[in-house]
Amino acid sequence: INEPGERFARPLDRSFKGVRVAWFKDLGGVPFDPRVRAVVDGHRKTFESLGCIVEQAEPDFALAEIAFRVLRAWNTANTYGARQREHPDAFKDTLTGEIEEGLRLSGMEVARAETAHGQLWRRFQAFLEKYEYFVLPTTQLPPFDVNTPYPTEIAGVKFDNYIDWMKSCWYISATGNPAASVPAGFTPEGLPVGVQIVGRNKEDFSVLQMAHAFEVATSFGKKHPPIA
């Protein structure tokens, strides 16, 4: 963050007239639950009501697939590998699998992932030269049963990996850009859905301003579903 800390104590109100907002399409073929899409797509008009110019556009996230998967496995192995060897029964299968994947990586594979990470960063910053914000769903599906370890498919698309159901999150994490997730409404079943507002590099205050404007316009953060 380049701004002095005192800036974040200032009011978040600002004008968004003429601000360009890029609206997600499908992140290059990422599946989304139709209920999530319905809620989030319904808010194009919300951003337009704030004065924004909203256009459907998104960058190519193919490099995120390379960078995030490899660097996540590498870092997981580096962080937890020794502990997993000492206490294997304390680690769930998915985490053990990721550690093992990280240990199998070669130096060249990690180097290629670092290169892809840098290319992704530059590509995303170039994309946001035209747009001040990129908007997409926070997650690809609504909350799932507490007894389900992780979703294995969304909208008929089956997954090979336990992190595939949250690509809409880690694609953004891989860019390193600031993002805020804001309550956006509920599915017909009453399950919460969030919208993710991504800003330009190190412009965290700008992201907070847009998140604040969206919350004021919708007030979904003040609405709570009944607790069973």
User: What average pLDDT does this structure show over 172-176?
Assistant: 97
DSSP state of 189: T
Confidence of residue 228 (pLDDT cuts 50, 70, 90): low
Answer whether residue 3 shows pLDDT above 90.
no
Q: Is the separation of the CB atoms in 202 and 169 below 8 Å?
A: no
User: What average pLDDT does this structure show over 31-60?
Assistant: 98
Answer whether residue 172 shows pLDDT above 80.
yes
Burial class of residue 219 (count of CB atoms within 10 Å of its CB; 0-12, 13-18, 19+)? exposed
Query: Could you tell me the end-to-end alpha-carbon distance of the chain, in angstroms, rounded to an integer?
Result: 40
User: What average pLDDT does this structure show over 135-142?
Assistant: 98
Residue 180 is predicted with a pLDDT of 98
Residue 1 is predicted with a pLDDT of 77
Confidence of residue 138 (pLDDT cuts 50, 70, 90): very high
- pLDDT tens readout for residues 66-88: 999 999 999 999 999 999 999 99
Answer whether residue 146 shows pLDDT above 80.
yes
- pLDDT tens readout for residues 200-209: 999 999 999 9
Higher pLDDT, residue 8 or 18: 18
Burial class of residue 111 (count of CB atoms within 10 Å of its CB; 0-12, 13-18, 19+)? exposed
Confidence of residue 105 (pLDDT cuts 50, 70, 90): very high
Residue 5 is predicted with a pLDDT of 86
Q: Which of 200, 156, 193, 211 is nearest to 177 (CA)?
A: 200
Residue 221 is predicted with a pLDDT of 87
Residue 65 is predicted with a pLDDT of 94
What average pLDDT does the chain have? 95
- pLDDT tens readout for residues 186-201: 999 999 999 999 999 9
Answer whether residue 34 shows pLDDT above 80.
yes
Distance CA 37, CA 193 (A): 9
Confidence of residue 223 (pLDDT cuts 50, 70, 90): confident
Q: Is the separation of the CB atoms in 214 and 178 below 8 Å?
A: no
Answer whether residue 120 shows pLDDT above 70.
yes
Q: Residue 54: in which H helix or E strand, if any? A: strand 53-56
